[in-house]
Structure 1
Amino acid sequence: MKKLLLASSLALLLTQSVFAKEEVSEKTRFESLSKLTKVIGTVEKYYVDDIELEEIVNKSLKGLMQELDAHSSFLDAKSSKEMSIQTKGEFGGLGITVGMRDGALTVISPIDDTPAFEAGIKASDIILKIDDKSTLNMTLDEAVSLMRGKPKTDILLTVVRKGENKPVKITITRDIIKIQSVFSKTFEKEDLLYLRVTSFDRKVVEGLEKAIKDNPKVKGLVLDLRNNPGGLLSQAIGVVDLFVDEGVIVSQKGRKAEDEEKFEASVSNTISRLPMVVLVNGGSASASEIVSGALQDHKRAIVIGEKTFGKGSVQAILPITEDRTETIKLTIAKYYLPSGRTIQAVGVTPDILAYAGKATQDESSEFKIKEADLKKHLESELEKVDEKVKKEEENKKDKKIITSEDVLNDNQLNTSVGILKSLIIINK
């Protein structure tokens, strides 16, 4: 009987404790919300300039989201509309993807064949000024809004670049940005296929699948994700699924353990088991890191290049008004690779480190005497060489062929070709 009474007393105490905690929690919530309301009311009443309540609330929301992390933000009606325009794949601007790194507005990557790319903007450039406006304390959305604009209008970016002693000023002429996300080329003299993905829009999986099926005789693949800022998670998962038979591709974990979601490969979606390498650099972010990291964890590809950007968080666009014109972009989870490692602020470390620039060549080769320099060389053989040189010149003009010269001008690509050829020999 005593044990029963003791158990009942303990149950009563626990129940009272839970109710007490709930009461304290509710009281704290009420006090916090009252504090916020009081501050907004005080600003509305005493601030030096006359500001409408709606504007005060909007500024409060922007400040709140900005303090959470670099990727969360409040999008008013104008900003929401701009984001909608951007996701359609065609907009007026520079062709540049930016993010916040250590509080500084940083270039994640310029998009291929856009005004920013042509002007020489590089991944990891820190933007100090947009025209005459300092980016200090500027939000990401404000910066993006300033850089967008009417085509054929100029903008001046002042950037800090590694290796430069002073800030670099770059004038860029805005243009309509049309993003072609997938390019494919074959290599001169090699049975290899080069696949370039510039961003993960809705047509990436479809584009890669077509390119691979259109080149059934190739023996190896180079997947180039350099300066790819990311995009749709579904496309990143789909790309990995083209090359991996089974297993986890990526998982995302929210605040609660039960929020974890895993995405797995299916053998029915696999279209290629050819040896492959993946090229990455500091401009490879988000979806690019998922693809390169997953292929690396599954030992399906050799990753070559430089350490990636390190953006491994998941954002959701959530409406906060009934007409959905105003939204918040909120970080709701983090990505984790098949091995369980995180990408956030860490990035993907390549299996083989290779820096950008030209490949090392034997400069003395031009001074060496060759067979063709001798008086009695075989003319018929020389004619064959001449035909070969002529063919190489024709290949240089073909934008769908990567020439030997192209490879030598790109050290990372040159390294990837060498590694891929070794993989092909090993797998024979």
Structure 2
Amino acid sequence: MRKLLLVGAAAVTLVGLGAASATGQTPRNEAFRMLALFGDVLGIVEQAYVVPVDDKKLIEAALQGMMGALDPHSNYLPPAGFDELQERTSGAYSGVGLTIQAEGGLVKVISPMDGGPAARAGVNAGDVISSIEGQSAAGLTVSQVSEKLRGAVGTSVRVTFLRDGEEPREVTLTREVIKIESVTGRIEGEFAYLRVSTFNENTGRELGETIARLKAENPGIKGYVLDLRNNGGGLLDAAIAVSDAFLERGEIVSQRGRKADQIQRYGARPGDLTDGAPLVVLINYGSASASEIVAGALKDHQRATIVGLTSFGKGSVQTVIPLRNGADGALSITTARYFTPSGASIQKIGIEPDLEVSRSLAEARIVSRSNFIYSEAAYATALDASIGAERKGPHTPHEAPGEDWPEDKDYQLERAFDVLRAGGSLAQLAAAPEGIVVTPPGTALAAAEPEPGPDN
């Protein structure tokens, strides 16, 4: 129903423009003059360009440019792109397993899919795609890069990635069917570890089934870690379902549109699947959108301790509007902002952790450098937060593992377990009673290193 109403609103707007133009109102006349100018330019290109042009490609590029001028997440999706979006939200698609986003003429990785070809090759959130098959990717749209990365199962594609402080790295990725198991879990001693890699149509059901399985394996679970790192988001309904699994009552998230009365609130239903057991949520700068809804709700309700790094800050709502039932693709257009239960905006700000911990010293250095901060706030066209607040600027994370920390051991996860061992709160962790074994805190970087200057 929501999509139908939005399509109807668009039609009314067009009719209004036509009626108003007869009255001579300048802004409306200007809109029609610019539409005529577009037709003139297209005609000149058809006649004068050095080689014949494809009108369809030109118009699709113009539509993508128009939507891209609004904000980084409003897009025109050609039919193939619309089909891909539907595949991704249904839980299976063919490709190399990357969620990507355009920024300043470059395409960056928001998150690699767990277990996919890109993740296995060591691709990280924030990596820049510099070339594909030896051809520069600079200036390409997300749709164009996505089209180049997709292909028949079993075929390969050479992709060069850039990362702060490292030489360009070319990897060969073999395309495969990406079957997204959005929720996985395991028992870790007396605790349970839950990994949510994306939010699709199956996530709520899979989470419930995973928690039930783990409780059957160990009825005495003393706490849970919910890992949302490098989870680039997905469906709002899935984010609500995941939040609801750990809450008994209260608001989960609200979304507020252009007008004051365009507010929708989503609340929890009775029934905490973990019976109120202590909970830690892991996030980082690759945690976006739906991940931030979950982390924000559980933090505001003091249901969980948040550990890791400040999340991405993608707090805007996109509505997908099919054009001619998808035959001409679709518009993905920003229609609202997300707010946590306390009224805090996620947009451009993100969710700050209660215990700020980087996974490695290299990651801590990336966060400390202004020109490599990877977040929504880095986009020149990003929608503002609307509440006057701003994201914390470049800074050195409070804690990181020491130089001798084993690379194959997850320091952020170990610190999350430390919080659970201390009963689930940072105050108890700071005054851990005798008998509670905790990981030795890593390097206190904030105290040991100066804040970066404006030119760093």
Is the TM value for this pair above 0.5?
yes
* 1:163-174 matched pairs, under 5 angstroms: 163-164=165-166, 166-174=167-175
Please tell me whether the aligned partners of residues 357 and 409 of structure 1 are also in contact (alpha carbons under 8 angstroms). no
Instruction: Give the Cα–Cα distance (whole angstroms) in 2 for the partners of residues 168 and 337 of structure 1.
Output: 39
TM-score (norm 2): 0.73
Larger Rg computed on CA atoms: 1
Q: Percent identity?
A: 38
Please tell me whether the aligned partners of residues 255 and 263 of structure 2 are also in contact (alpha carbons under 8 angstroms). yes
Instruction: Give the Cα–Cα distance (whole angstroms) in 1 for the partners of residues 195 and 406 of structure 2.
Output: 15
2:419 counterpart residue number: 419
Instruction: Give the Cα–Cα distance (whole angstroms) in 2 for the partners of residues 29 and 424 of structure 1.
Output: 57
Please tell me whether the aligned partners of residues 75 and 329 of structure 1 are also in contact (alpha carbons under 8 angstroms). yes
Q: Do structure 1's residue 184 and structure 2's residue 185 form an aligned pair?
A: yes
Q: CA deviation at 1:217?
A: 2.2
Instruction: Give the Cα–Cα distance (whole angstroms) in 2 for the partners of residues 305 and 129 of structure 1.
Output: 31
Please tell me whether the aligned partners of residues 89 and 234 of structure 2 are also in contact (alpha carbons under 8 angstroms). no
Deviations for 1:353-405, whole angstroms, at most 9, x for unmatched residues? 112149xxxxxxxxxxxxxxxxxxxxxxxxxxxxxxxxxxxxxxxxxxxxxx9
Instruction: Give the Cα–Cα distance (whole angstroms) in 1 for the partners of residues 408 and 52 of structure 2.
Output: 63
1:195 counterpart residue number: 194
Closer/same/farther in 2, CA of residues 416 and 406 from structure 1, 3 Å limit:
farther
TM-score (norm 1): 0.77
1:257 counterpart residue number: 260
SS in 1 for 2:124: coil
Q: CA deviation at 1:246?
A: 2.3
* 1:7-406 matched pairs, under 5 angstroms: 23-51=25-53, 53-164=55-166, 166-188=167-189, 191-214=190-213, 215=215, 216-268=219-271, 272-321=275-324, 324-357=327-360
Please tell me whether the aligned partners of residues 158 and 167 of structure 1 are also in contact (alpha carbons under 8 angstroms). yes
SS in 1 for 2:299: helix
1:197 maps to amino acid: V
Instruction: Name the one with the larger helix percent.
Output: 1
Please tell me whether the aligned partners of residues 94 and 174 of structure 1 are also in contact (alpha carbons under 8 angstroms). yes
Q: CA deviation at 1:119?
A: 0.8
Gaps of 5+ in 1: 1-17, 359-404
Closer/same/farther in 2, CA of residues 22 and 423 from structure 1, 3 Å limit:
farther
Please tell me whether the aligned partners of residues 250 and 262 of structure 1 are also in contact (alpha carbons under 8 angstroms). yes
Closer/same/farther in 2, CA of residues 341 and 424 from structure 1, 3 Å limit:
closer
1:196 maps to amino acid: R
Instruction: Give the Cα–Cα distance (whole angstroms) in 1 for the partners of residues 105 and 296 of structure 2.
Output: 26
Please tell me whether the aligned partners of residues 97 and 229 of structure 1 are also in contact (alpha carbons under 8 angstroms). yes
Q: CA deviation at 1:195?
A: 0.8
Instruction: Give the Cα–Cα distance (whole angstroms) in 2 for the partners of residues 287 and 322 of structure 1.
Output: 26
1:414 maps to amino acid: E
Instruction: Give the Cα–Cα distance (whole angstroms) in 2 for the partners of residues 424 and 259 of structure 1.
Output: 37
Q: What is the number of equivalent residue pairs in this alignment?
A: 361
2:432 counterpart residue number: none
SS in 1 for 2:261: helix
Q: CA deviation at 1:26?
A: 3.2
Instruction: Give the Cα–Cα distance (whole angstroms) in 2 for the partners of residues 19 and 69 of structure 1.
Output: 28
Closer/same/farther in 2, CA of residues 276 and 30 from structure 1, 3 Å limit:
same
2:252 maps to amino acid: I
Q: CA deviation at 1:423?
A: 2.0
Instruction: Give the Cα–Cα distance (whole angstroms) in 2 for the partners of residues 178 and 152 of structure 1.
Output: 15
Deviations for 1:14-44, whole angstroms, at most 9, x for unmatched residues? xxxx999983343333333333333333333
Instruction: Give the Cα–Cα distance (whole angstroms) in 2 for the partners of residues 411 and 207 of structure 1.
Output: 27
Gaps of 5+ in 2: 1-19, 362-404, 430-456
Instruction: Give the Cα–Cα distance (whole angstroms) in 2 for the partners of residues 114 and 267 of structure 1.
Output: 36
Closer/same/farther in 2, CA of residues 114 and 270 from structure 1, 3 Å limit:
closer
Instruction: Give the Cα–Cα distance (whole angstroms) in 2 for the partners of residues 109 and 242 of structure 1.
Output: 24
1:336 maps to amino acid: F
1:409 counterpart residue number: 409
1:66 maps to amino acid: G
SS in 2 for 1:186: strand
Please tell me whether the aligned partners of residues 407 and 414 of structure 1 are also in contact (alpha carbons under 8 angstroms). no
RMSD: 2.8
Closer/same/farther in 2, CA of residues 337 and 33 from structure 1, 3 Å limit:
same
Q: CA deviation at 1:279?
A: 0.7
Q: CA deviation at 1:218?
A: 0.9
Instruction: Give the Cα–Cα distance (whole angstroms) in 1 for the partners of residues 31 and 92 of structure 2.
Output: 44
Deviations for 1:310-349, whole angstroms, at most 9, x for unmatched residues? 2222112212225644212212222111122222222211
2:11 counterpart residue number: none
Instruction: Give the Cα–Cα distance (whole angstroms) in 2 for the partners of residues 148 and 53 of structure 1.
Output: 24
Q: CA deviation at 1:86?
A: 2.9
SS in 2 for 1:196: strand
Please tell me whether the aligned partners of residues 248 and 262 of structure 1 are also in contact (alpha carbons under 8 angstroms). yes
Closer/same/farther in 2, CA of residues 109 and 291 from structure 1, 3 Å limit:
same
Instruction: Give the Cα–Cα distance (whole angstroms) in 2 for the partners of residues 298 and 21 of structure 1.
Output: 53
Please tell me whether the aligned partners of residues 247 and 271 of structure 2 are also in contact (alpha carbons under 8 angstroms). no
SS in 2 for 1:412: helix
1:396 counterpart residue number: none
1:176 maps to amino acid: V
1:47 maps to amino acid: Y
